[in-house]
């Protein structure tokens, strides 16, 4: 039997890796991938507690999270395409058009 704590630790590790990746990487596309990692970690938590409590609600909410993640990926990649058209780069350090 896999305890819920095991899954929580896996989820925490995925979340931390996602946050660290968002902080260190300068590539917009990689940063978006790290957001997907974080959302996957959230889904793991939903599923683990759904099993722990014997309640289906967690799985239903994980469906919603997956939907929002897909919408976020579409919007984020659309922003990348528009950004490349404007600045010819995906380096976040060179995106400072709104800086004073």
Partner 1 sequence: MTWFLVHFAEIVFYSLAAVALAGAVGVIAFRSPVHAALSLLGTFLAVAGVFVLMQAEFLAAVQVLVYAGGVMVLFLFVIMLVKARDIPDEPQYVRRLVPAAVGLGALLAALVGVGIWAASGGLPADGAALRMVAGAPLGNTEAVGWSLYRDYLLPFEVVSIVLLVAMIGAIVMGRKESGRGGAA
24-43: contacts with partner 1 (CB under 8 A): 24-30, 32-34, 36-37, 40, 43
Burial 19-54 (b: 16+ CB within 10 A, else e): eebbeeeeebeebbebbebbbbbbbbbbbbebeeee
- For residues 39 to 78, the per-residue mask of contacts with partner 1, x marking binding by CB under 8 A and - elsewhere, is -x--xx--xxxxxxxxxxx-xx-xxx-xxxxxxxxxx-xx
Q: Which is nearer to partner 1, 60 or 99 (CB)?
A: 60
Applying CB under 8 A, among 2, 96, 97, 98 the residue interacting with partner 1 is 2
- Contact partners, residue 38, CB within 8 Å, separation at least 6: 14, 15, 18, 19, 22
User: Sign of the CA dihedral 36, 38, 39, 41?
Assistant: positive
Query: Cβ of residue 70: shortest distance to partner 1, in angstroms?
Result: 6
Binding mask 81-100 for partner 1 (x = CB under 8 A): xx-xx----xx-x-------
Q: Are 61 and 46 in contact (CB under 8 A)?
A: yes
Identify the residue among 79, 95, 96, 100 touching partner 1 (CB under 8 A). Answer: 79
């Amino acid at each position: 039997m896999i305890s819920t704590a095991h899954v929580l630790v896996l989820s925490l590790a995925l979340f931390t890796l996602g946050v660290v990746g968002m902080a260190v990487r300068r590539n917009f596309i990689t940063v978006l991938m790290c957001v997907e990692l974080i959302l996957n970690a959230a889904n793991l938590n939903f599923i683990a507690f759904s099993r722990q409590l014997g309640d289906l609600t967690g799985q239903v909410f994980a469906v919603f999270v997956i939907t929002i993640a897909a919408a976020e990926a579409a919007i984020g990649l659309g922003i990348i395409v528009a950004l490349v058209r404007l600045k010819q780069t995906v380096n976040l350090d060179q995106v400072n058009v709104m800086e004073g």
